[in-house]
């Protein structure tokens, strides 16, 4: 099975590309939503996070994300430790999901594909891009955030975006006059064409 990574900055249109792949019959793993699910339901994650931050991090069995964010904000090195807990569990969850896929291709969508190391699970990576102004406008309309809040979020992603720009195999442009669907379809055709042939059976 060939694994495709999908990444891009906020407002770039990663989820749109994921939906295109789904319409092409390619299953897509949403690492962000699965990470949130694991934060709430994985005993391994819960035990490690409460051990690191405190038992009041969970309320009625659900992670209080505001408390986690406050703890990370108050400690410079805590984010790396939290990621060190969550990312390995997401990788395990993805590998289990992938083993159950009945398809020649599958994909994983992640805004932090490279900094998390998830790119090591991929055979090829698609980076979704758009001009910064368009990305900001899209994200503000979607999230209802202020321009300053969105600017800070985009600044926080600069390192990841540099890694993605250097490491991605394909880039699709999700802004006029570029049409997104034909770009994605061409990449999938290329990936399938370059797929190694199975060995001859004796």
> 30: closest CA among 18, 45, 20, 44?
18
- CA angle (23, 24, 30) in 5-degree steps: 65
**pLDDT tens per residue across span 47-77:** 999 999 999 999 999 999 999 989 988 877 8
The domain 1-27+101-193: what is its CATH number? 3.40.50.300
Task: State the sign of the Cα–Cα–Cα–Cα dihedral 33, 36, 42, 44.
Answer: positive
Highest mean pLDDT among 39-48, 76-85, 153-162: 39-48
Q: What's the mean per-residue pLDDT of the chain?
A: 92
Residue 14 marked ligand-binding: yes
Residue 25 marked ligand-binding: no
Residue 8 marked ligand-binding: no
**pLDDT tens per residue across span 101-137:** 999 999 999 999 999 999 999 999 999 999 999 998 8
The stretch 92-97 carries a mean pLDDT of: 98
| Global pTM value | 0.89
Q: Using pLDDT thresholds of 50, 70 and 90, give the confidence band for residue 81.
A: very high
Residue 55 marked ligand-binding: no
Helix axes 43-53 and 78-99, enclosed angle (nearest 10): 180
Distance CA 20, CA 193 (A): 19
Report pLDDT for 142. 87
Residue 5 marked ligand-binding: no
Residue 11 marked ligand-binding: yes
The stretch 136-160 carries a mean pLDDT of: 85
């Amino acid at each position: 099975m060939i694994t495709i990574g999908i990444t891009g900055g906020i407002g770039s249109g990663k989820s749109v590309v994921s939906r295109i792949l789904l319409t092409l019959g390619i299953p897509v793993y949403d690492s962000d939503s699965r990470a949130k699910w694991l934060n709430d339901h994985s005993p391994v994650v819960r035990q490690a996070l409460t051990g690191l931050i405190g038992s009041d991090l969970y309320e009625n069995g659900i992670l209080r994300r505001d408390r986690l964010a406050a703890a990370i904000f108050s400690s410079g090195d805590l984010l790396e430790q939290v990621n060190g807990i969550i990312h390995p569990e997401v990788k395990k969850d993805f590998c289990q999901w992938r083993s159950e896929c009945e398809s020649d291709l599958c994909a994983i969508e992640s805004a932090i594909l490279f900094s998390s190391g998830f790119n090591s699970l991929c055979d090829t990576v698609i980076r979704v891009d758009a001009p910064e102004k368009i990305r900001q406008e899209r994200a503000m309309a979607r999230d209802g955030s202020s321009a300053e809040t969105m600017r800070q979020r985009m600044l926080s992603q600069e390192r990841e975006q540099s890694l993605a720009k250097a490491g991605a195999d394909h880039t699709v442009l999700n802004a006029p006059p570029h049409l997104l669907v034909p770009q994605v379809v061409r990449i999938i055709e290329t990936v399938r064409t370059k797929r190694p042939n199975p060995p001859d059976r004796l």
